Amino acid sequence: MVPLVHIIYVCLFAMGALFIWTTQAFPRPLSAHDIGPAVFPMWLAIVMMTLIVVDTLISWGRARKVPLGNVGLAVLFALGMGSTVWASSRFGFFYVLPVALYIGLWAIGSRRLVVNGIFSLVMPVVLWAIFDQLLSIPLARL
């Protein structure tokens, strides 16, 4: 059992550190009286990191604990979502979406394989019909 909020805070703290590191590449101020474009995101990240440390110290003993397997499952789903977005950009939205829908339906517990397959094939077609044909907003090429 691990405190979920502390895992989230570690990730947010790392994101804040990444923001600070990224702002170093921002353009410098145009004059001595200008604060420059890097100041706001850098200070926002510093405030966020400070609040994370303060809240961690205040809630150290009261943080709700969850099984480590649940955290691993959430990470696995996040990686799956990221790989779906990557595969969609590489191979095409309408080729990846049926597979992703089928796997997602199975992962959330639906074991009706035929119904899941039909839904996974019909849903992209409905999206294409609504957006591409009805609203003239192309999602992707077939």
Q: How far is Cα 34 from Cα 31, in angstroms, rounded to an integer?
A: 5
In-domain check, residue 112 = yes
Dihedral of the alpha carbons of 111, 115, 120, 126, in degrees to the nearest 10: -150
Q: For 25-46, write each residue's pLDDT tens digit.
A: 888 887 878 888 888 888 999 9
Higher pLDDT: 99 or 108? It is 99
Same domain as 81, residue 55: no
Indicate if the pLDDT at residue 50 is higher than 90: yes
What local confidence, expressed as pLDDT, does residue 141 receive?
Answer: 63
Q: How far is Cα 101 from Cα 124, in angstroms, rounded to an integer?
A: 9
Same domain as 92, residue 49: no
Burial of 126 (0-12, 13-18, 19+ CB in 10 A): exposed
User: Around Cβ 51, how many Cβ atoms within 10 Å?
Assistant: 13
Domain boundary among 30, 51, 66: 66
User: Around Cβ 16, how many Cβ atoms within 10 Å?
Assistant: 21
Same domain as 33, residue 78: no
Indicate if the pLDDT at residue 138 is higher than 70: yes
In-domain check, residue 46 = yes
In-domain check, residue 139 = no
Indicate if the pLDDT at residue 2 is higher than 80: no
Same domain as 91, residue 35: no
Same domain as 37, residue 79: no
Domain boundary among 66, 84, 114: 66
What local confidence, expressed as pLDDT, does residue 37 receive?
Answer: 84
Q: For 61-76, write each residue's pLDDT tens digit.
A: 888 888 888 888 888 8
Q: How many residues does the chain have?
A: 142
Q: How many domains does the chain have?
A: 2
Residue 93: strand pairing partners: none
Domain boundary among 66, 82, 101: 66
In-domain check, residue 30 = yes
Same domain as 61, residue 17: yes
Q: Is 3 helix (H, G, I), strand (E, B) or coil?
A: strand
Residue 66: strand pairing partners: 2
Quick one: tokens of 15?
Answer: 């994101």
The contacts of residue 2 (CB under 8 Å, 6+ apart) are: 65, 66, 68, 71
What local confidence, expressed as pLDDT, does residue 40 receive?
Answer: 87
**Full residue range of the structural domain in which residue 59 is found:** 2-66
In-domain check, residue 141 = no
Indicate if the pLDDT at residue 142 is higher than 70: no
**pTM as predicted:** 0.57
In-domain check, residue 142 = no
What local confidence, expressed as pLDDT, does residue 34 receive?
Answer: 81
Same domain as 38, residue 93: no
Indicate if the pLDDT at residue 14 is higher than 70: yes
What local confidence, expressed as pLDDT, does residue 3 receive?
Answer: 80
* DSSP 8-class letter at 63: P
Quick one: tokens of 2?
Answer: 């691990």
